[in-house]
């Protein structure tokens, strides 16, 4: 199986834009709080970081439980990716650059409890600060074919610089063998 991301544009009514933006802002705030704790306490283990940050972040942001858990995973995943980049640049002779990291309110990770794809209606249900909201998808035949018969359990809601909203839905697709195995007749030893 191969997991791919299917990018779908959301039809967002004007009155719900502020709710998405508020949720994105609070998710970024949560990530920044978690990152500061992780850095200060040098804690990069998901479970340990969860115990150190979960309650305080929930109280400070008011985010739903699963959003806080996703924020913790995002911080750890980002730290691992940055560490790999630094290791690669260090091996190539370039000294690692120290950059102050700041999460921006441009995306939120969603899981099975905060996201639902409804194929018959071509809509998605997303949990925001105000509760579960359904959005119509604006997609073409390519996306329809990839989503057909799928029951995705993860997605990422994104806001572009232009102010449009997209949802990247993770789906599993079967992978075919990439090449043919040569036919072997036999080996004769002399």
What is the helix (H) or strand (E) element at residue 55, kind and residue range?
A: helix 46-61
pLDDT at 81: 80
Any idea which residue has 């809509």 for tokens? 123
pLDDT at 173: 86
pTM score > 0.85 for this model?
A: no
Whole-number Cα distances in Å, 5 to 11, 77, 106, 146: 19, 17, 17, 10
pLDDT in tens, 92-140: 555 544 455 799 999 999 999 999 999 999 999 999 999 999 999 999 9
How many of the other CB atoms lie within 10 Å of CB of 70?
23
pLDDT at 85: 56
Handedness of CA 135, 62, 46, 76 (dihedral sign): positive
177 — pLDDT class (breaks 50, 70, 90): low
Residue 168 CB contacts under 8 Å (≥ 6 apart), including other chains: 5, 6, 7, 8, 155, 156, 158
- High-pLDDT (> 90) share of the chain, %: 77
The residue ranking higher by pLDDT, 187 or 79, is 79
Q: At what angle do helices 14-41 and 46-61 cross, to 10 degrees?
A: 130
Check residue 49 and report its DSSP letter.
H
H-assigned helices in the chain: 14-41, 46-61, 65-91, 141-147
* Mean pLDDT for all residues in the chain: 89
The two tokens of residue 60 are 């400070």
Residue 84 has pLDDT above 90, yes or no: no
Residue 181 has pLDDT above 90, yes or no: no
Pairing state of beta strands 165-173 and 2-11? antiparallel
Contact 128, 157 (CB under 8 A): no
């Amino acid at each position: 199986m191969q997991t791919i991301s299917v990018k779908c544009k959301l039809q967002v009514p004007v009155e719900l834009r502020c709710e998405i933006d508020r949720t994105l802002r609070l998710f970024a705030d949560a990530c920044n709080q978690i990152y500061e704790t992780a850095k200060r306490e040098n804690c990069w283990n998901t479970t340990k970081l969860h115990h150190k940050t979960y309650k305080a972040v929930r109280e400070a942001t008011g985010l739903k439980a699963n959003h806080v858990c996703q924020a913790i995973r995002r911080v750890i995943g980002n730290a691992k990716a940055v560490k790999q980049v630094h290791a690669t640049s260090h091996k190539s002779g370039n000294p690692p650059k120290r950059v102050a990291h700041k999460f921006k309110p441009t995306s939120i990770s969603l899981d099975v409890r905060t996201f639902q794809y409804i194929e018959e209606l071509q809509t998605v249900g997303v949990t925001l600060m105000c509760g579960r909201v359904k959005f119509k998808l604006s997609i073409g035949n390519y996306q329809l074919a990839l989503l057909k018969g799928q029951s995705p359990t993860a997605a990422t809601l994104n806001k572009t610089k232009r102010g449009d909203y997209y949802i990247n839905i993770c789906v599993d697709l079967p992978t075919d063998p990439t090449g043919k195995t040569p036919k072997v007749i036999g080996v004769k030893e002399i």
